[in-house]
Amino acid sequence: MKYSIILAAPMLAAALSAHAETICTLDTKGASSGVDDTALIQNGIDTCAQHGGGTLKLAARTYRISPVQLKSNVYLWLEPGTVLEASPDKSQYVAAFIGWPYNAREALISGDNITNSGILGSGVIDGNGQVWWDDARRQRKDGTMTKLFPHVPDANGMPRPWLVEFYQSSNITVDGVTLRKSPMWNLALRYSKGVKISNLTISNPEEAPNTDGIDLIASQDVDIRKVDISTGDDNITFKSGLAGFDMPAQATADIHVADAKLGTGHGVSIGSETLNGVNHITLERLSFEGTTNGFRIKTGRDRGADIAFISVKDVRMSHVGIPLSVTAYYPKVPENRDQPQAVTATTPFIHDVSLENITATGAKSAGQFIGLPESPLKNFKLRNISIEAKTGITVRDAMLDTEALQLQAAEGITLKQLENAKVVQH
């Protein structure tokens, strides 16, 4: 059976495979609504794929599911009122971690080595995260996960399953849906290319631990537009790997983010796991409201590489803790400058970053630009920046070229230049 997809967004129409014009239906014979719909959904996906692919439309109701896998040429379409709710049975899942290869049960909905696929519509994917967050807080308190992952800073409460993941996949589209109450990361793209994300809403409580909105790990050619993200950790983050794990060495590159609304969360971050580099990132027309950070780069001597050709422009921030933060120390910047160390394969090299047309009001600290003594920040251009904050900007081991930089600090020095700080003001 054929039908025509009527889409308002040209980008979405161009992204969809021709297979999407075929409607696939669920075989509901013998199915018990809302009890356990995992087999119903998975059989629908598998059957659709076996017949050449198409769009599997889910009618409006709540489906209780454990992990399911998408297949090539199959799009999952969530009609208005459709909710895919994660089963609270933890035995149905396995933990997900950036340094581990893909496992079929590490996300509620996942795609492994697939192409021409995605999730569409205006329904909801609900991760039932409360059952996981409580354990994470307990483990953080008693130190359980730190013992298992001593090399991972702040490991307590991790790892846990993700909500949606695409691994080594291409030509993926995610449009219109809402992700909420994720156990941990909401949408993880790992080693994937040609991904288009638009009209996506992500909603988690501010106190929900490690619930990153969108994580891009060693992925390339990704376009993100018109997203609305409020969560308990990074709203959007770019990563490329962590030392000590046998994973492909691939940079995260050629990413474009535009027209994003960012509420509670830790902001837009590059890092901290940047072992294989992050480059050619463009962020434009972003609004931040109440995030702990605005734009930040966070890496460290044990997880760095080349981070370069980053452009951030046309940004508005209100009541953001630290609007601009770039540090080569993770997880914590030392109060006093330490001694230079030998340059290694994991030494961060952060350079060629452009920040333009950025306004922030109601901030706690205007920002920080902290490089390493052995690897200073280089070629940073700040143009038309206006920040009102309690305290100013701190610069150490960094080179900044500024024009029309306006800082208002209620306390102290507006621009504090420490060791090896070179700030040119036009």
Q: How far is the C-alpha of 159 from the C-alpha of 57, rounded, in Å? A: 32
Residue 221's alpha-carbon distances to 216, 251, 303, 330, in angstroms, are: 11, 11, 23, 27
Q: What is the pLDDT of residue 91?
A: 95
At 420, which amino acid appears? N
Residues 6+ apart with CB under 8 A from 82: 58, 59, 60, 61, 63, 121, 123, 124
How do 421-425 and 415-417 pair as beta strands? unpaired
Q: What residue has token string 């535009």? A: 258
Q: What is the pLDDT of residue 377?
A: 98
What's the Rg (C-alpha) of the chain?
22
Q: Cα 360 to chain center, whole Å? A: 22
Q: What tokens does 318 get?
A: 């209100």
Q: For domain 234-426, give the CATH number.
A: 2.160.20.10
- Are 274 and 253 in contact by the 8 Å Cβ rule? The answer is no
Q: Please, which residues bridge with residue 375 across strands?
A: 372
- Expressed in percent and rounded to 5, the helix, strand and coil fractions of the chain are 10, 50, 40
Residues 6+ apart with CB under 8 A from 285: 258, 259, 260, 314, 315
Class for the domain spanning 1-181: mainly beta
Alpha-carbon torsion, ordered 418, 420, 421, 423, to 10 deg: 150
Q: What is the pLDDT of residue 7?
A: 37
Q: What is the pLDDT of residue 97?
A: 94
Q: How far is the C-alpha of 241 from the C-alpha of 397, rounded, in Å? A: 25
Q: What is the pLDDT of residue 352?
A: 98
Decide if 1-181 and 234-426 have a common fold. Answer: yes
Helices (H), 16-121: 38-50
Tell me how crowded residue 411 is: count the other CB atoms within 10 A of its CB.
9
Predicted structure pTM score: 0.94
| Per-domain residue ranges of the chain | 1-181, 234-426
Q: What is the pLDDT of residues 367-378, one digit of tens each?
A: 999 999 999 999
- Are 147 and 107 in contact by the 8 Å Cβ rule? The answer is no
Dmax over CA atoms of the chain, in Å, equals: 73
- Are 210 and 234 in contact by the 8 Å Cβ rule? The answer is no
Please list the ranges in the chain whose pLDDT falls under 50: 1-8, 153
